[in-house]
Structure 1
């Protein structure tokens, strides 16, 4: 006897008993009558006992069938309940979504829009992982992520939400003291505060129409998070190239000043990224769709 029980045979047997008919069981199970008959015969051979006394007019359980029917019916009921619960989990928005987001973006941009999501979907919870490091979504079991980057081709499913503007910033007093370059090449003589989680972080690249420029400032600090650089920028330590969601408020209130505004730092965008494959649980789809609308609107 194999280690696994004949669950299909038990379920088919229970359905035949319930409906008192091989034909009716076949119709309800969307099987042929021959398939139903073979499943019951296979179970009888496995158990070494007849389960039914069959005549042309009626179907009667044997003693072996009578002793088995209660447990077989329980197997059928438990299997149906398990499928219904699993189906409900996948089709109704409930359960936990594991999500990875860069630290600064999570605090400044994601955090303010989450309350609206929880109000709309009270049965969905979010396990939020905040880190500027690029995580392995598949290997670490994440359902989705937000990434601010120029994404390379990959097997991940990516949806571009909006462009992200970056500013060349320093304190006004710093620019007054050290001068405001009119071309990116002039930044080579300045003190750079560098964000480390990007390709070639010490090299800053810019575009203006068809013109391109790159420069390597004198690095004062390199950090794996942009927010930690802001106090040093405001204090006049040096210059940085950082996204609007980090330095926008300080630029708006005058604590930082953006220069070279007619130049564009190497383009990046906010993307919503998910592992390949599908269909996805409803809890993941509703969060992805909500964030797609909420964060695109903030661009």
Structure 2
């Protein structure tokens, strides 16, 4: 028997707590299992198991060896699954979770092409700005902004997000264009009712100093999509993601203002999934598809 086989026998004995139970699970005879463990101990030069007439337990060396064996056997199994699944056709229901604005404007338009490529996959998409637990809610992939906080998750970066200070041409005609951040106090600034950390806009003056402006206006919402609609309607000025407004800026429906004073920080946009282990073909196909579509230049920058 090869070393992997020896490890499999040894781990099964430790887990079952007896030669006879391990033998039944492995479809071997108890004597064959006992001889296998004896040969393994002889080769390693240590006693791995404490044997009595009533019970069997791992020694200190045996427990350390068991932990290593479990990791090695798991890695071997995952390597085989990964190779075999690369040749399996993606199929089944793919559950995708994404924020409202990014999902509507950037992910949803790509879904028809994805489904055309992988006709055996069904997509179930949930759009919400409330963060959810992927494992508890049975989601396969989520699109998340910012650094990955949960070490049990895997993230592949798709692009980066920046924001712009925008309003409609109609708003500028009615109220004039602010030329300096200090002039924003005379304007209707639209903000978020929940993500209040987004309700302070930081500008940089020519001398390098920062100039913060707090959002104060007659309308707030819990998502960027709704604020975007109000800005298009001419209600006020807002700070919105470039992926949301780039096409309207290009078409003249929105105007970027205070550009000399504002350059937002880059926030990574990631495709997040629970673990690399047993990654299904449908998840791998979807994440690879998104990476293809957003790299090297995301759609909203390519259009600019």
TM-score by length of 2: 0.64
Return the offset for 1:239: 0.7
Return the offset for 1:219: 2.4
Report the counterpart of residue 63 of structure 2 in structure 1. Answer: none
Return the offset for 1:122: 1.8
Q: Which has the higher strand share?
A: 1
| Residue number among 154, 179, 185 corresponding to 2:150 in the alignment | 154
List per-residue Cα deviations over 1:208-254 (Å, max 9, x = no partner): 79543321132221112222233432332211111123222322222
List per-residue Cα deviations over 1:94-130 (Å, max 9, x = no partner): 2222210111211211112122222222222222111
Unaligned runs of 5+ in 1: 1-5, 14-21, 23-31, 39-86
Report the counterpart of residue 270 of structure 2 in structure 1. Answer: 271
| Residue number among 116, 119, 122 corresponding to 1:119 in the alignment | 116
List per-residue Cα deviations over 1:125-145 (Å, max 9, x = no partner): 222111122222233222221
Rg bigger for which structure? Answer: 1
Q: What does 1:67-78 align with in structure 2 at a 5 Å threshold?
A: none
| Residue number among 16, 24, 37 corresponding to 1:9 in the alignment | 24
Report the counterpart of residue 293 of structure 1 in structure 2. Answer: 292
Report the counterpart of residue 246 of structure 2 in structure 1. Answer: 248
CA contact (8 A) 1:12 1:36 kept: no
In structure 1, how many angstroms separate the alpha carbons of the residues matched to 2:267 and 2:193? 15
Q: What does 1:115-194 align with in structure 2 at a 5 Å threshold?
A: 115-147=112-144, 149-151=145-147, 153-155=149-151, 156-194=153-191
In structure 2, how many angstroms separate the alpha carbons of the residues matched to 1:207 and 1:115? 42
Unaligned runs of 5+ in 2: 1-20, 37-80
Report the counterpart of residue 214 of structure 1 in structure 2. Answer: 212
Single out whichever of 156-165 and 283-292 deviates more from structure 2. 156-165
List per-residue Cα deviations over 1:132-173 (Å, max 9, x = no partner): 2222223322222112x3336432322222122322111223
In structure 2, how many angstroms separate the alpha carbons of the residues matched to 1:289 and 1:138? 21
In structure 2, how many angstroms separate the alpha carbons of the residues matched to 1:294 and 1:128? 18
CA distance 1:143–1:271, shift in 2 (3 Å): same
In structure 1, how many angstroms separate the alpha carbons of the residues matched to 2:210 and 2:149? 24
In structure 2, how many angstroms separate the alpha carbons of the residues matched to 1:199 and 1:158? 26
Aligned alpha-carbon RMSD (Å): 3.5
Report the counterpart of residue 223 of structure 1 in structure 2. Answer: 221
CA distance 1:293–1:191, shift in 2 (3 Å): same
CA contact (8 A) 1:185 1:214 kept: no
CA contact (8 A) 1:102 1:130 kept: yes
Report the counterpart of residue 283 of structure 2 in structure 1. Answer: 284
Counterpart check, 1:35 vs 2:36:
no
CA contact (8 A) 1:189 1:218 kept: no
In structure 2, how many angstroms separate the alpha carbons of the residues matched to 1:208 and 1:160? 31
CA contact (8 A) 1:207 1:265 kept: no
Question: What SS does the aligned partner of 2:197 have?
Answer: coil
CA contact (8 A) 2:94 2:282 kept: yes
CA distance 1:204–1:96, shift in 2 (3 Å): same
TM-score by length of 1: 0.65
Return the offset for 1:197: 5.4
